[in-house]
Structure 1
Amino acid sequence: MAWYDKWAIMVIAAAIGVGGCNGIPWCKMGVAEWAYWVAAIGTVGTLIGTIWIATSGSRQTRKADLTRARLAASKLVYQQVHNTKNTRLAAADIVSALCSYSFELGDINAMLQRTSPTILLLNKVIPPDATELVALTPIKDDCAARIAIGIGMVTSSATLLQGLHQHMAAGFIKQQLQNCEQMLIDAMQHFNVAEAALIETVNAPILN
């Protein structure tokens, strides 16, 4: 439980106590009334204790999951920063290639040469393993899923680019590059959200 939750409970309990003290005519109560009140307070206390014990396991599990997520985020955050950067540079390379003079002329060999730096950049995108992604699942904004989706888009783009040499139609190559450009733009959007969530998790205060 976070420190502010504990203080909130204490303030609410104090308010109820003060209200009870001022609103109930304690001095006019007889033995029977006192017995009822003692029994009621005991019942409420037992209920609160039962709820606390029943939920303590889930609280501990949640805290352990968040701790693992923070450790995984600390390990992966800079890797994700580089993945985002390389994806952005690869997308920019494709945009530059599509605007180049060789594409205007339909020079297929020149087109294919322009994709080589893009493939190198995409190969620098390092995917986290499945265990690391599972550890990230408690992080907000579907961080783990966004990283997995972005990695899938980057991998698909690299595969498409590497297979272009098998085709000698300028129009087909241009269309595939446009498809890759859109996939990389979408991957960047997922990576940007995931990167922000990772940084926030790493910098968040440790829960007590």
Structure 2
Amino acid sequence: MLNWLTWFRWATLMIALGAMSYYGYRAVPWSYMDATLSAYWVAAIGTTGTLIGTIALASSEARTRQRERMTLAVIQAAHCQHKMQAMLLGLERIAELLGPSTKKKIPIDNVLNSINEIDSIVFIDNQELATLVPLKGHCAMKIAGVQNALSNLRKHILDIDTVRPASDDEDQSIGLDIDATYFAAAIAKKQVERLWEVMHTFKESIYT
């Protein structure tokens, strides 16, 4: 389907050609038309026809390439769904491990478990992302952003400090810095939201 910009270009071209034809017709001294002038007009008309045909062919080829890219993007989206689902589950698990809970302390083991969750995620590579570019909603850019956030989140989790309990605390086990862990959980939740947006677009593209 032609978009508004393509229609505008075609309309501009037709108006320009129409104006040139009209004023060219008015300017030609038809009563003095000879073979040479007739040849010029035939050549001009032929050139104009060739130009229109070339533009039409180029537009048709561009639309065909766009349809092919979109088809490949939809196929790639279907192929990447399982990776996206695994990424979603991993991020939700991290938010659960490091986020607010009924416990007073967040166990140290939750750091290792969160790192294991990130390391188990299979990222979508650059070639796959490039194929997804035609999809609406900037899906490829969002996925790349989530994967970059995951790499940074891993570094942040490794830097979370431990906290020793007060001497009068009944629970003498060492916990994690609450502010740092809650911040990591908030990052994970934000990426979950972004991935759900992408998954919604995937679903629309594949099943419509």
Question: 8 Å contact 1:66–1:138 — kept in the other structure?
Answer: yes
The 1-side partners of 2:178 and 2:159 are apart by 13
Secondary structure of the corresponding residue to residue 137 of structure 2: coil
Which deviates more from structure 2 when the two are superposed, residues 167-176 or residues 144-153? 167-176
The 2-side partners of 1:101 and 1:178 are apart by 13
Q: 1:100 aligns to what?
A: 103
Letter in 2 for 1:142: H
2:183 pairs with one of 166, 179, 185: 179
Offset of residue 115 of structure 1: 2.2
The 2-side partners of 1:144 and 1:129 are apart by 11
Distance 1:115 1:184, change over 3 A: same
Q: 1:143 aligns to what?
A: 139
The 2-side partners of 1:61 and 1:173 are apart by 53
Question: 8 Å contact 1:77–1:199 — kept in the other structure?
Answer: no
Letter in 2 for 1:147: I
For residues 189-208 of structure 1, the aligned pairs below 5 Å read 189-204=193-208
Larger Cα-atom Rg? 2
Letter in 1 for 2:56: W
Per-residue CA deviation, residues 66-86 of structure 1 (Å, 9 max, x unaligned), is 122122112101211221122
> If the length of structure 1 is used for normalisation, what is the TM-score?
0.63
The 1-side partners of 2:95 and 2:143 are apart by 17
The 1-side partners of 2:100 and 2:120 are apart by 20
Offset of residue 163 of structure 1: 3.1
Per-residue CA deviation, residues 154-205 of structure 1 (Å, 9 max, x unaligned), is 22212221233xx44569832221221121111111100111112222223x
Q: 2:148 aligns to what?
A: 152
Whether 1:89 aligns to 2:85 is no
Offset of residue 48 of structure 1: 7.4
Secondary structure of the corresponding residue to residue 121 of structure 2: coil
Question: 8 Å contact 2:163–2:177 — kept in the other structure?
Answer: yes
Listed as ranges, the gaps of 5+ residues in structure 2 are 3-48, 165-174
| Structure having greater relative contact order (Cα 8 Å, sep ≥ 6) | 1
> If the length of structure 2 is used for normalisation, what is the TM-score?
0.63
Q: 1:62 aligns to what?
A: 66
**Alignment identity in percent?**
17
**Aligned pairs, how many?**
154
Question: 8 Å contact 1:157–1:180 — kept in the other structure?
Answer: yes
Offset of residue 51 of structure 1: 4.7
Offset of residue 50 of structure 1: 5.4
Supply the RMSD in Å over aligned alpha carbons: 2.8
Listed as ranges, the gaps of 5+ residues in structure 1 are 3-45, 104-110
